[in-house]
Amino acid sequence: MENVSADDALKLLLQGNDRFIKGEIINPYQVVRRRKEIIHGQRPFAVLIGCSDSRVPPEILFDQGLGDIFVIRAAGVTVGNVCIGSLEFALEHLDVNLVLVMGHQYCGLIETAANGDDVHHHLGSLVKTASKAVENTKDLPGDHLENATKENVRLLIETLETKSPTIEKYINNGKVKIVGCYYSLDTGKVDIIA
Tell me: the pLDDT tens digits for 59-99? 999 999 889 999 999 887 777 788 899 999 999 999 999 99
Tell me: the pLDDT tens digits for 33-44? 777 887 888 889
Domain boundaries, the chain: 6-192
Among 52-61, 79-88, 157-166, the least confident range: 79-88
**Using CB atoms within 10 A of its CB, is residue 61 exposed (0-12), middle (13-18) or buried (19+)?**
buried
8 vs 10: CA distance, rounded Å: 5
Of 128, 134, 178, which is closest to residue 152 (Cα–Cα)?
A: 134
Q: What is the value of pTM for the model shown?
A: 0.92
56 vs 54: CA distance, rounded Å: 5
Residue 115 has pLDDT above 80, yes or no: yes
Of 171, 178, 174, 177, which is closest to residue 153 (Cα–Cα)?
A: 178
Residue 130 has pLDDT above 90, yes or no: no
Question: Which conformational region is residue 46 in: left (phi greater than 0), alpha (psi within -120 to 50 degrees), or beta?
Answer: beta
**129 CB neighbour count, 10 Å cutoff:** 22
The domain 6-192 having CATH identifier 3.40.1050.10: the answer here is yes
